[in-house]
Structure 1
């Protein structure tokens, strides 16, 4: 019979002992502690319960615990300290950590996408907003929320997005979510329940959302991306009743949807009684072109708009928002409440104040030239060291893409780069069938100018090695 006890003292230790196992109890205790240390689940210098307390806690004689501790001390997993207490040994945890690290690749430089420079998070301004909220918010703000989220944030975001992105947002039609991941998942689930059947996605595009759509019960079809955005003629032939687009800066090609493409998408939605999902994920970072308004402002009843603070502030905030056609608001609000009862209110209210006081605008104005400098460095260094790789989609966002010339294998280049401690990433995962044209995606948001230069030099060496 299994028996588990925990102590009520300062040093608790959950251990399972089986009296009917035929294995001495001191050996069971040794193994339980040893395994936990090996797995890195007990950190170095963790203070163990006293032998007397643990014995009482587990219903053992003190001699059994003493014998187990003595064996683990002899093996180097525990160490006895002056004053009569025992700790987890540094060496044992170091060995466990080293073993775990052998399965991971150590990268000197990583061009992975979706990594903004979180070191630039405006801590002082955020703290002012947070302090103000804590001092001034009414007690009822800490109660359960409306499924749409804090009204203060919906008002602040509606004002901001209508001014900066040209949306037609109304606070009552907005919903706050935990980033784009939750917002898109809930939206696709709701749409599937309402009878939508086929989702068209840009090809190439983010592969993770396709999996979410399939899990929601939707069929997913790919539609080619042109230099002017998604191919609306191909969309017309796809039979889709939903389409997801990254019109402001397509991922991963960087294409910007032209005014003609945007108008054609809205007209398609009206003809088909369909819905456009507009992921406006990094529209605020533009460098070499005039700002282009969101499609949602053209047709609020036919476009569901999604935005997030993950690229502009920090992904760890888990702040996202949707502007919904009125007919979807109630169903989405119910789905949000069913999913998690609502996003944390303090962060919502702090962000509302942060946006309303103009701090969000100031942060973006400060970051644009910094990101542009890194983007320019990447493009310029590539032109010198790797002229055969021509960047595209460089006018906005936090990534660029390059097509690979014929004869240069995507997998060979990424593998050769990895051997040099460089993380670069191919296009294969983003194609619907995994067999599209070869290329590389470079995320540069979290890198320094120096790191970008070193990274391109490493890539040049890797390409040279593959080409020989």
Structure 2
């Protein structure tokens, strides 16, 4: 049977509600080409967003009055192109990889560099040139080895300990405690977090001053909304610095002027000259370079804050350290001018959506009010379970376990880079869940796109830059085995 001829099937071909597909539009003998092109166009234009499940081949073939083989062939072509992926009983899911790879290959010229004076060996990327969906789109693209930074070892989640703690909580929980709770968080978790911060971050915090939030991302949003109401419409950010954090700030209308970061951390003199009234920093482990804000720069930042500046401290990856002593939080040194935020996303799992915030007294009540309006407070049961893990010592044991595991994977990545990318410079090896490498030349977005085509996913460093900066890659290692890490770096070297 000629599967490209709908008339032979004996079924009607009046078209389908899905995308208003009409086989009569197809050229003779070209049904598979026509259907593939229509679906590919719908994916690229957003009519089929990332995550959409396509109709089954049998259902779509019946609706269109076509042979099932035509639809199967079309889906297979889209799979080979990376547009869709088959997920068993979940069906065929839109991945949108063509759009992501196109954006990866696009390297916007920084506004500070005229077309005829491009800086040799540097790249830059503006947040405005990367839409807010870029992380979600890239996350959805299948890759043989995923080196996305910021992803913890999800396979190491302590399921047994969590279940035991949850059972214990449920056994003792009073009926009234299943109702709406304090929007600032359960008192039990706030006490546990206060003890954790005192032990691991050197912060003396009253539990009543803590606000439990849905991760650092929500803390950023609440702070931005509050500052906007107080007439502050600009929060300076580190450069390089997290594109994700920058996008959260900009989502709430904040301007994000870049302040350069060097091997000693944030350049406070540039911050002072910028005139910004607030700054967001990652002083314990800078993202993405891993630099620690040194003592002199800390003193300069404290003096800047004492003169009226506000510091938003994202305590990123603070507990994950291997070859250096602990670094105290800025909040421990200047509580009245620092809004502090942390979470368990990198220690346990982002899926928990549990973080915390400490604000100066003049901001606390307003932030709690905004948290109440946002979601009435985090879910109570996960808060109580996390508190039980903290109080029992299980979270501390998990941290020690992860440090050993991460150190092995970090070492594997360092060795692989030295063997396969000997001209690359490694940054941030002493702590964290990722490494950054800088390269002597080239276009890091093109390199990331080529690596993705070869099955390895990583972030180009230029995504996280607003100012000109040497090209590079940001490479997460926490979620991959040493063998996978070595293979991934070898693959990147082959396509570079």
Normalised to the residue count of structure 1, the TM-score between the two structures is 0.79
Find the counterpart in structure 2 of residue 205 from structure 1: 241
Match of residue 304, structure 2, among 253, 260, 268: 268
Task: Give yes or no for contact 1:198–1:239 (8 Å, CA) kept in 2.
Answer: no
Q: Per the alignment, in what secondary structure is the counterpart of residue 316 of structure 2?
A: coil
Deviation per CA, 1:331-357, whole angstroms, max 9, x where unpaired?
A: 111101111111111101100111111
**Cα distance in 2, alignment partners of residues 152 and 125 from structure 1:** 18
Deviation per CA, 1:241-271, whole angstroms, max 9, x where unpaired?
A: 1111100110111100112222221221011
User: How many pairs are equivalent?
Assistant: 403
Q: 1:400 to 1:33 in 2, by over 3 A?
A: closer
Find the counterpart in structure 2 of residue 382 from structure 1: 417
Q: Per the alignment, in what secondary structure is the counterpart of residue 293 of structure 1?
A: coil
Deviation per CA, 1:32-79, whole angstroms, max 9, x where unpaired?
A: 48989x963667999xxxxxxxxxxxxxxxxxxxxxx996597577xx
Find the counterpart in structure 2 of residue 328 from structure 1: 363
**Cα distance in 2, alignment partners of residues 356 and 436 from structure 1:** 44
Taking the TM superposition and a 5 Å limit, the aligned residue runs for 1:69-148 are 72=63, 75=66, 98=79, 100-101=84-85, 103-104=96-97, 106-148=142-184
Which consecutive unaligned segments of at least 5 residues does structure 1 have?
1-25, 47-68, 78-89, 464-468
Taking the TM superposition and a 5 Å limit, the aligned residue runs for 1:301-316 are 301-316=336-351
Q: Per the alignment, in what secondary structure is the counterpart of residue 150 of structure 2?
A: coil
Task: Give yes or no for contact 2:458–2:474 (8 Å, CA) kept in 1.
Answer: yes
Task: Give yes or no for contact 2:14–2:64 (8 Å, CA) kept in 1.
Answer: no
Q: Per the alignment, in what secondary structure is the counterpart of residue 342 of structure 2?
A: strand
Taking the TM superposition and a 5 Å limit, the aligned residue runs for 1:36-435 are 40=53, 72=63, 75=66, 98=79, 100-101=84-85, 103-104=96-97, 106-271=142-307, 273-405=308-440, 407-433=441-467, 435=468
**Cα distance in 1, alignment partners of residues 209 and 13 from structure 2:** 59
**Cα distance in 2, alignment partners of residues 106 and 360 from structure 1:** 32
Task: Give yes or no for contact 1:109–1:455 (8 Å, CA) kept in 2.
Answer: yes
Root mean square deviation, CA, Å? 3.0
Deviation per CA, 1:206-251, whole angstroms, max 9, x where unpaired?
A: 1232233233333321111121211111111111111111001101
Instruction: Identify which range, 136-145 or 234-243, moves more after superposition.
Output: 136-145
Could you tell me how far 1:421 is from its partner in structure 2? Answer: 1.6
Task: Give yes or no for contact 1:43–1:93 (8 Å, CA) kept in 2.
Answer: no
Find the counterpart in structure 1 of residue 492 from structure 2: 459
Could you tell me how far 1:94 is from its partner in structure 2? Answer: 7.2
Q: 1:296 to 1:384 in 2, by over 3 A?
A: same
Q: 1:32 to 1:265 in 2, by over 3 A?
A: same
Instruction: Identify which range, 210-219 or 237-246, moves more after superposition.
Output: 210-219
Could you tell me how far 1:196 is from its partner in structure 2? Answer: 2.3
Q: Per the alignment, in what secondary structure is the counterpart of residue 84 of structure 2?
A: helix
Q: 1:97 to 1:363 in 2, by over 3 A?
A: farther
Give 1 or 2 for the bigger CA radius of gyration.
1
Which consecutive unaligned segments of at least 5 residues does structure 2 have?
1-10, 22-38, 40-51, 86-94, 98-140
Find the counterpart in structure 1 of residue 89 from structure 2: none
Task: Give yes or no for contact 2:320–2:432 (8 Å, CA) kept in 1.
Answer: yes
Task: Give yes or no for contact 2:284–2:293 (8 Å, CA) kept in 1.
Answer: yes
Task: Give yes or no for contact 2:434–2:478 (8 Å, CA) kept in 1.
Answer: yes
Find the counterpart in structure 2 of residue 443 from structure 1: 476
Q: Per the alignment, in what secondary structure is the counterpart of residue 31 of structure 1?
A: coil
Task: Give yes or no for contact 2:317–2:433 (8 Å, CA) kept in 1.
Answer: yes
